[in-house]
Structure 1
């Protein structure tokens, strides 16, 4: 074995501490189902008057939508994904 031991001393380190580094990926886009919302039956068919599927779109950059129908959430998700692609490309 080696006589060298790891020490937490980072003096002279070329890598900045985690708190000082800028995030590599400022976006983390995802869907979330709000607590307390019921899902419809298989195939998206539910009983008459049953609550519709609701989804919240969130991103690490600060985007948070209110609970909205899945189709609308998908549009917001796709639009934001295009914005992310334009920023990185």
Structure 2
């Protein structure tokens, strides 16, 4: 068993390294909590607690304003469906 049945294949030199290749997915959909500075409106009215607000972001450029959690979930699901339809 000293003989190797497989040899190393160096023909893959034409493949670009991962740092040079474009990203495989153009979407990265995620929820984020808004910044602390968004607690009051320009008129001075107190807005909802930050724990009740969520921002939906995606690598394709989607960024929603701070939305109530239920509305953010709907925006997330709508964009996820758009991504699914785009890939189909």
TM-score w.r.t. length of structure 2:
0.64
Question: Any unmatched runs of 5+ in structure 1?
Answer: 1-11, 39-48
How many aligned positions are there? 68
Say whether residues 1:79 and 2:78 are aligned partners.
yes
Structure with the largest fraction of helix? 2
CA distance in 2, matches of 1:50, 1:15: 52
Say whether residues 1:55 and 2:54 are aligned partners.
yes
| Per-residue deviation, 1:17 | 3.1
CA distance in 2, matches of 1:24, 1:50: 39
Question: Any unmatched runs of 5+ in structure 2?
Answer: 1-11, 40-45
Structure number with bigger Rg: 2
CA distance in 1, matches of 2:87, 2:14: 26
CA distance in 1, matches of 2:72, 2:57: 10
CA RMSD of aligned residues (A): 2.3
CA distance in 2, matches of 1:50, 1:35: 13
